[in-house]
Homo-oligomer: A and B are copies of this chain.
Amino acid sequence: MKIPDSNIVRCSECPIRHRAVCARCDDDELGILEGMKSYRTFAAGDPILWRGEELVYVASVVSGVATLSKTMEDGRTQMVGLLLPSDFIGRPGRQEIDFDVTATTDVTLCCFSRRPFEKLVDETPHVAQRLMELALDELDAARDWMLLLGRKTAREKVATFLEMLARRSRNPDADGTQHEMTLPMTRDQISNYLGLTLETVSRQLNALKNDKIIAFIDRRNFEVLNLAALHDATGDDNDGGMIS
């Protein structure tokens, strides 16, 4: 279901220009990238890369949401990453990846052939530097997620997930109420993200509703009624790590 996309945007006008792998590039370097890139779009639900598939392209997410997931032989699956605009797919120096990449919403990628890109990484310090920063950021996120997977209760997991969504789409009212937000995935996908079953996710979501912490508009849309209570339910520190 790959749809080659013809309306290539100029890098200088690219929405992820300042955050993606090209963020530190100067105009000359950008010119080189401009000549290498091609866009690809995927519809919601489409697979982008299969585990073990040869990695022909590496890419930046331009728009949409994609997920990384690992699946065991008996079908148990665990999401191990969420790719948002400006996040990078693939790694220079490796021929394949050992997880699946799937489009959760419609996704547009800015693709580079792997081989020429690897050459570029070797020759263009600004790209390697930025790639390092992106990898370290992902590592931080992965470590937070490990704490969640290993030690948090079901309620804390769900609350953490909702709080993350709330932080992402910053639009709080003066009173701390957060207006209409959308769950970007099904209950099943959320459960794979949180290391739970879909039934438990459903129950915890309704428990938070009954506690007046969130309210549902419909099954996919909700609002946060009490951001402080939501935060309390996450089990996270209040202060973000200040020494007390």
Contact = CB atoms under 8 A, between A and B. Distances in A.
Contacts of A167: none
Interface string A48-89: 001111000000000000001010111011101100000000
A96 B52 CA distance: 36
A132 interface: yes
Nearest to A145: B146
A70 B149 CA distance: 12
Contact of A129 (B80, B128, B242): B128
A201 B241 CA distance: 30
A151 interface: yes
A147 interface: yes
B73 A237 contact: yes
A93 B133 contact: yes
A235 interface: yes
Contact of A80 (B51, B138, B146): B146
A187 interface: no
Interface of A: 50-53, 68, 70, 72-74, 76-78, 80-81, 91, 93-94, 96, 98-99, 121-122, 125, 128-129, 131-133, 135-136, 138-140, 142-147, 149-151, 194-195, 235-237, 241-243
30 contacts: A51-B241, A52-B241, A70-B144, A70-B146, A72-B147, A72-B151, A73-B235, A73-B237, A76-B151, A78-B146, A78-B150, A78-B151, A80-B142, A80-B147, A81-B143, A91-B136, A93-B133, A98-B140, A98-B241, A99-B143, A121-B129, A121-B132, A128-B129, A132-B132, A135-B135, A138-B139, A142-B142, A146-B149, A149-B149, A149-B150
Given A70-B147, A73-B237, 14 more contacts: A52-B242, A52-B243, A70-B146, A72-B151, A78-B150, A121-B129, A122-B129, A128-B128, A128-B132, A142-B146, A146-B149, A149-B149, A149-B195, A150-B195
